[in-house]
Structure 1
Amino acid sequence: MIFDKIYQFNFPTTIRFGAGAAKELPVYLQQHNLQAPLVVTDPTIAELPFFKKIIADLKAKNISVEVFSNIHKNPVKSDVYKGSEAWDGTQRDSIIGIGGGAALDVARAIVLRINHREDLFKYDDLIGGDIYVTNDVPHFITIPTTSGTGSEVGRSAIIADDETHQKKILFSPKLMAQIVFADPELTMDLPPFITAATGMDALTHNMEAYLAKNFHPMCDGIALEGISLIKDSLEKATNNPDLESRSKMLMASMMGAIAFQKGLGVVHSLAHPLSSLLDTHHGLANAVNIPYGMQFNISGFEDRFRKIARTLELKDETGEAVVKYLFDLNSKINIPHKLSDIGVKHEHIETLADLAFADFAHPNNPKLVSRDNFKQLYLTAL
């Protein structure tokens, strides 16, 4: 791959990938007669120079822009309602999500809500709510700025209840972006912590997707290639970034999101409650938990771990070697090994175990996970 060239491919939607791809946005909008986008991002990105440049370039083409950035780092229903009000009050014709997982999830949920105005959680996929997503949705464009969730190529949004903190999944094929502008230049200035945490999120997606119990050989192949790209690039992207390492991480992030349509597993169910209860960064929550979750999964699935170890080019092709690799990688990118280092206390464990057991991800784990298993995993990681 030549890293200063822009490529186009279609999987699962149209993707413009490469350095400078985001600069194509104004022309794309004009070609599609879109003159008034609602741009959804987060409060931090809204203040960054590259974001202001994107907005200025749109305005220079006489495109009316409304920016909505009043969202939480772990999105809640009220964020989506506020964004819908911004749409209602300013006569928009399209939605552009720019950012990491939080911004893109809120953007996608707003896309749903524009023409589906019943309670947002009526459309929760876990209760079959996708059957109610029947109306048209606005033209939707995504521009990722982190290499983690891969939300730019997704069809779902994870939004938490403001009160209970329980996460819901809003899903429909209608919620896929019409086009993704995946520009690794936008990730070049990410600080090391965000690069590390989001990168471990991408690795968790790929590993858990590969191990998930559902049958999907195509996702398995994508996940293994995603793991290989992260092995080649995450440490460098964090500690000494260049365009090649950032490009590989951005591609691996999208691959993880495509692969996890097969399912996720125990690590995500350990991580989600940390975000909803303690407002922990999702990638960091996955990063700290992944060695423990992978250790839990080894027994009975040694063949799968052998393939992961081979992909990581480890000397010992065992699950234990994979776990050691994960601890070592966390050390190299300055991720702590213990939950106590990220604010978890012993008094949180019972509530975390309840939330983890109620989470939607672990039913696709290769082996069953009980509430007691979750409690013990948290205690081991504490």
Structure 2
Amino acid sequence: MIFDKIHQFNFPTTIRFGAGAVKELPAYLAKNNLKAPLIVTDPTIAQLPLFKSIVADLSSKNIAVEVFSDIHKNPVKSDVYKGCEAWDATNRDSIIGIGGGAALDVARAIVLRVNHREDLFKYDDLIGGDIYVTNDVPHFITIPTTSGTGSEVGRSAIIADDETHQKKILFSPKLMAQIVFADPELTMDLPPFITAATGMDALTHNMEAYLAKNFHPMCDGIALEGISLIKDSLVQATNHPDLASRSKMLMASMMGAIAFQKGLGVVHSLAHPLSSLLDTHHGLANAVNIPYGMQFNIAGFEDRFKKIAIALDLQEQTGDAVVKYLFDLNTKVNIPHKLSDIGVKNEHIETLADLAFADFAHPNNPKPVSREDFKQLYLSAL
């Protein structure tokens, strides 16, 4: 991979990838006669110099920018409604999502809501709501600032109910960005914790997608290459970041997001309740749980774990070696090994098990997961 030039590829979204790619944004907007974008980001990104530089660059070219950043780190329906109110009040013509998974999920959900004004969760893909996504949507552009969810190349948004905390999936091919500006320079100043947590999220996407029971050989190949790129780059990107390691992580996170259209699994179902119930960072929740979830999946799928071990360049090509690698990797990037280290208590376990069993991800796990399995996995990780 050449890091000092910008590449273009399509999958199917047009992706402009490379250092400095974000500088092309004003010209792209002008070319498409877009003069009043709503920029959706999170409160942290909104205060960073990199974000202010993007806004200033647009403003200097007579592009009237409106910023919406009033969102939770684990997005809820009310975030989307407030963002749509900002759209209505300020006469916008396009939406630009800038940030990590939370910002891009809210941006994508606002894209849906602009011309689909029934209750947001009517469009929940898990109840067939995608059939109601029939109207046009605004011009949508994504710019990632983390290497985790890969939401920039996705076509779905995960939004939780404000009251029940249950996560819903809003899905439609219409919700894909028209273009992605994937600029690894925007990730260079991420602090080590965010780099590690989002990087482990990307690794979880790739591993779970590869193991998911659905048939999708192309996703399998993409996932294995994503795993290999993360093996080469996450520790460096976390502890001693350079452009090469940041570029590999940004590419690997997009690959994970493309691969997980095949499905996810037990680890995400363990992680989602931690975010909704305890407001745990999603990447951190995946990072702590992934060794335990992978251990659960080994029996009967040894051939798949052998391929993962090869992608990780492990001497022993076994599932147990993969699990040991995951614990060691967490240590190297300063992620704790136990849920108790991130605020989970014994009294949370029953509720977490209920939420995990109700979660949408584990039906695609290679083997069935019962509520009792979830309880025992939480207890093992506690």
TM-score normalised over the length of structure 2? 1.00
**Which residue does the alignment assign to 1:287?**
287
| Matched residue, 2:166 | 166
Deviation at residue 270 of structure 1 after TM alignment: 0.1
Equivalent residues in 2 for 1:1-382, closer than 5 Å: 1-382=1-382
How far apart are the structure 2 equivalents of 1:148 and 1:23? 22
| CA deviation map 1:7-60 (0-9, x unaligned) | 000012100000000010000000000000000000000000010000000000
Please state whether the residue corresponding to 1:44 is helix, strand or coil. helix
Opposite residue 303 of structure 1, the aligned amino acid is D
Matches of 2:181 and 2:11, distance apart in 1: 13
Distance 1:139 1:133 in 2: 15
Separation (CA, whole Å) in 2 of partners of 1:257 and 1:366: 19
In 2, Cα distance between equivalents of 1:314 and 1:29? 46
Matches of 2:67 and 2:45 in 1, distance apart? 11
Provide structure 2 residue ranges, at least 5 long, that are not aligned to the other structure. Answer: none
Deviation at residue 188 of structure 1 after TM alignment: 0.1
- Segments of 4+ in structure 1 off by > 3 A? none
| Structure 1, unpaired ranges of 5+ | none
Amino acid at match of 1:69: S
- Percent identity between matched residues is 90
Q: Residues 72-120 of structure 1: CA distance to partner in whole angstroms, max 9, x if unpaired?
A: 0000000000000000000000000000000000000000000000000
Cα distance between partner residues in 1 of 2:299 and 2:266: 14
Please give the alpha-carbon distance, in whole angstroms, between the structure 2 residues aligned to 1:259 and 1:170: 18
Other structure's SS at 1:271 match: helix
CA distance in 1, matches of 2:230, 2:245: 9
Counterpart-to-counterpart distance in 2, 1:28 and 1:22: 10
Q: Structure 1: how far apart are the matches of 2:337 and 2:288?
A: 6
Is the partner of 2:43 in helix, strand or coil? coil
CA drift of 1:4 comes to: 1.1
Helix, strand or coil at the partner of 2:140: strand
The Cα shift of 1:232 comes to 0.1
Hey, what's the Cα distance between the residues in 2 that align with 1:286 and 1:263? 15
CA–CA separation in structure 1 for the residues paired with 2:229 and 2:272 = 25
Task: Name the amino acid aligned to 2:53.
Answer: K
